[in-house]
Structure 1
Amino acid sequence: MKKYVGLDIGGTSVKYGLVDENGVVTNKNHFETNVDDKDKLLNDLVAAVKEIQDIEPVEGIGVSMPGVVQADGFLTTSGAVKYFTEINLAQLLEEKTDLPTKIENDANAAAIAEKWIGSAQGIHDYIGLVLGTGVGGALIVNDQIYRGAHARSGEFGWMIVEDDDVDVEMGTLNFRGATVIGLIRRYNQFSGDQVDDARKIFQRADDGEVLAQNVLKSYYRSLAKGIINLEVAFDPAVVIIGGGISNNTEFMDNLNKTIKEIQAVHNSINNLQLPEVKAAKLKNDAGMIGAVYQLIHA
């Protein structure tokens, strides 16, 4: 069975492991992302590849990371790892490892992984949303990632879902529907006790705290509006929600409830059967799995 190295580069850490041709991940490990030193991070990536190679021979490297990624591995943007912007990371890694390398946007990788062995198996047209620091996304059409004219398709976090006359960006899905710069940021705006974990907000709401309840209500409505906009624009078979918050069944239940409430008062769509909104299956391994899938099917 053929094996590959999967790398998932995030702003905080890099996850890596051995991924086989069935999408099974073993020998998982991680290291801290050095966001200040490009050469140090490149060396760390190469060391991770060699660590996996010492376990078993590999056919290539699949890399998931934030940013606008062109088909040849050139990064137009690179998220928190800013010094990778406007370089061809695939070419660099191939030169250093002598292995074929595929770079994929993290939200695209997570979405296509769900098609391979996750919640979108057998589904040909769907949308993936990843709720984290911001909102990442991917549009899958006829089993393929739709990239758009400038490889920017799926930047759903830039959509404007609320009015904000002072700063338009504060009304975008990123700043209203993401877990960190959306939910946690808005709660901390009004709370004297700053939190860094969304689970605390859910717990405080369950305990009867009015602020937490109101912030969550606003959060659900903003996110639901963004999802409805995507559903009526693209008519997917399903919308798959990824990110740590999607593991919370209370969150998924309340999100679907809010979507139905908004749909009920929207006269043009209140009688339609909107696509199912459900949680992703693959969680933290999705980036590695999806990047390797793209390498195998390049």
Structure 2
Amino acid sequence: MTTAVAAPFRFFALHVVRTRRLGPSLVRVSFAGEDLRHFLSDGWDQSLSLFLPHPGQDAPAVPVELGDHWWQGWRELPDDVRAVMRSYTLRELRRDPDEIDVDFVLHTPAGPASAWADRARAGDRAVVLGPAVADNRAIRFRPPDDTDLVLLWGDETALPAIGSILASLPAGQRVRAWLDVRDAGTVRHLASAADAEISWLTGGACPDALRTAVLPPAERPYAWIAGESGSVKALRRHFVRERGIDRRRVTFVGYWRQGMTEEQLRAAG
């Protein structure tokens, strides 16, 4: 496989080594591949593009041999041949052996990526467009050095990033996090050395709970918000207009948009 694309990203040929259910609507898929020795990331919300095969295909159809022009080549493939492409967040990168974990939300009704993850087995093949440079533009969580309070909000699609962020923060760092999940069975312990208060909320209560929450006093807070695009934008306005946080200290990422597929979202963007 030709792996060169446009620095700092490249294609990686992967295969499934194991899967693990994390709850009623979450499954973790662990991937390995010889090229992963070149996969580098220093970020905790590292995003990547995952390419998956259609049912009946042995491997995803991605024209990686076109190099920088792969996107146009991929678009020109027939719909039933062109690999399913979805954006995901890296949950963990490990060495010796080289492996990465990706967490999938299992939707009902299932989309193509959700259905693939639900039936994934060891040996199944996938392709990732990921970082070959440790510090890259697909890393969004970048709190300023003087941050005295970290604020996190995310829905289920942001759980991998939030889990990694919490695990990375040092002892003594104050953190307030709100996690919006559909099912109480998704609630689990998230390890962190930080002084973290984590609120798990279900039933769409999260935005209201955040708006009415009493925050610890802070002079230099930093907020990271990720998940459904409409909710993310509304909460960014809340932090900036109602909480008075400098907009330069608020990072917001729309992972998905209600009522739109990723293909429609990419076309609109």
Give the TM-score normalised by the residue count of structure 2: 0.35
Give the TM-score normalised by the residue count of structure 1: 0.32
Considering fraction of residues, name the structure with more strand.
2
